[in-house]
Amino acid sequence: HVADAHRTDLMTITRHVLNEQSKHPESKGDFTILLSHIVLGCKFLCSAVNKAGLAKLIGLAGETNVQGEEQKKLDVLSNEVFVKALMSSGRTCILVSEEEEEATFVDPSLRGKYCVVFDPLDGSSNIDCGVGVGTIFGVYMAKDKDNVSLEDVLQSGKNMLAAGYCMYGSSCTLVLSTGNGVNGFTLDPSIGEFILTHPNIKIPKKGKIYSINEGNAKNWDTPTAKFVEKCKFPKDGSSPKSLRYVGSMVADVHRTLLYGGIFLYPADKKSPNGKLRVLYEVFPMSFLMEQAGGQAFTGKQQALDMVPTNIHQRSPVFLGSYDDVEEIKALYDAEEMIP
Ligand code: P6P
């Protein structure tokens, strides 16, 4: 009967968030309502992304579809879906999207106290070859929702209240932290619910995988080059690490979170601040890694300690298993010591 109970006692993401909310008696459920709208956006995207390949096959490619409507690129569509879902929640006041140059200030009549930073479809260039892509998001609290400014989203990663990603791959997996650990939910399309499948995710303290674009090796700085050399030719007689690199941050981070190891996107001569964006790529993934017992480093400081000065600012990032990140921190610290 225990097995039956398990099958019928479905822990959905909504129930899970309500349980979390009950730990904050003062909360009025605004956060729960915000998250339910983020979940709605993810459900829509899961369906749209999985159809995208089919759409291409049945000639919806190009500028217009069979109804002669303007064929929106998936990343534009994703952005519109999230902006509308977040605005209609009535719980947000500022939105920052990878797809929009400027921050969106929500109409006062619909304004709430949360600021959401997000990449609606990270890795979208991979869609056409069926590689996993995803949505990445982070949530801040505005200082005063009736008097909002960019300062409310240019906050340190330490002030982030929640973060997560939804990966649209072989299955649709939503990984979320509201500051009390990390939980993974898998969409059951037959009932349209995200079910808790990975409770209390903890990243292995040390991993056997490193994840970096080796094609940039010519431009790496010394600490990164030394670290990768050590992964490939360990001096202590241990086995070399495996290289796994998808090129889609959500896929590379999800594997790192579950299997352990380290994901690196360093600065290099071409991109002195690295490539990944602080607010809606580095911060949310660093938040999750810390909540799962790992850590994240920029080459100069813990990633979450940064205070961005512009909403699309980039930063190098080294994140994953605690011990693996410690190793590259030691190499950067040693570099700092060289006069
Ligand atoms: P590169 C995808 O374009 C992306 O923004 C991240 O999802 C991914 O980690 C990174 O860029 C890959 O960059 O330079 O290795 O192709």
Mean pLDDT of 276-291: 98
What is the per-residue pLDDT for 125?
A: 77
Separation of 266 CA from ligand 1 center, angstroms? 12
**Residue 257 burial by Cβ neighbours in a 10 Å radius (0-12, 13-18, 19+):** buried
User: Which region holds residue 224: left if phi is over 0, alpha if psi is between -120 and 50, else beta?
Assistant: alpha
What is the per-residue pLDDT for 80?
A: 92
Res. 186 pLDDT band, cuts 50 70 90: very high
- Ligand 1 within 6 A of CB of 200: no
Structure tokens at 35: 């998250």
**Closest CA to ligand 1's atom 12:** 247
Neighbours of 71 (CB within 10 A): 17
**Closest CA to ligand 1's atom 4:** 123
Residue with tokens 């006069």: 339
What is the per-residue pLDDT for 18?
A: 87
326-335 confidence digits (pLDDT tens): 999 999 999 8
What is the per-residue pLDDT for 19?
A: 87
Mean pLDDT of 85-96: 97
pLDDT higher than threshold 90 for residue 271: no
d(CA 164, CA 178): 9
CB burial readout 286-308, b (16+ within 10 A) else e: bbbbbbbebbbbbbeebbbebeb
pLDDT higher than threshold 50 for residue 5: no
- Ligand 1 within 6 A of CB of 315: no
pLDDT higher than threshold 70 for residue 111: yes
Instruction: Answer with the residue of higher pLDDT: 4 or 211.
Output: 211
19-74 confidence digits (pLDDT tens): 888 887 777 789 999 999 999 999 998 888 887 666 554 334 445 544 455 556 78
Strands 209-211 and 262-265: parallel
- Ligand 1 within 6 A of CB of 125: yes
Instruction: Answer with the residue of higher pLDDT: 301 or 67.
Output: 301
Mean pLDDT of 292-310: 98
DSSP-based three-state secondary structure for 22: helix
Ligand 1 atom with least separation from CA of 247: 12
d(CA 33, CA 186): 20
Ligand 1 atom with least separation from CA of 245: 15
Mean pLDDT of 115-127: 90
Mean pLDDT of 79-101: 95
99, 122, 133, 216, best to mutate for ligand 1 pocket (most atoms within 8 Å of CB): 122
d(CA 197, CA 83): 28
pLDDT higher than threshold 60 for residue 308: yes
Separation of 216 CA from ligand 1 center, angstroms? 12
- Ligand 1 within 6 A of CB of 248: yes
Average per-residue pLDDT for the chain: 90
129, 248, 319, best to mutate for ligand 1 pocket (most atoms within 8 Å of CB): 248
- Ligand 1 within 6 A of CB of 217: no
Separation of 7 CA from ligand 1 center, angstroms? 38
* Strand blocks (E) in the chain: 92-97, 104-105, 111-122, 133-141, 162-168, 172-177, 183-188, 193-198, 209-211, 242-243, 262-265, 295-297, 317-320
**Cross-strand pairs, 111:** 92
What is the per-residue pLDDT for 126?
A: 79
**Cross-strand pairs, 320:** 262, 295
What is the per-residue pLDDT for 159?
A: 98
Mean pLDDT of 175-179: 96
DSSP string, 228-248: HHHHHS-TTSPPPPEE---S-
pLDDT higher than threshold 70 for residue 231: yes
**Closest CA to ligand 1's atom 1:** 247
What is the per-residue pLDDT for 57?
A: 42
What percent of the chain has a predicted confidence (pLDDT) above 90? 74
pTM of the model: 0.93
DSSP-based three-state secondary structure for 169: coil
ipTM over 0.95: yes
pLDDT higher than threshold 50 for residue 109: yes
DSSP-based three-state secondary structure for 81: helix
Res. 128 pLDDT band, cuts 50 70 90: confident
**Closest CA to ligand 1's atom 16:** 247
- Ligand 1 within 6 A of CB of 249: yes
**Closest CA to ligand 1's atom 2:** 123
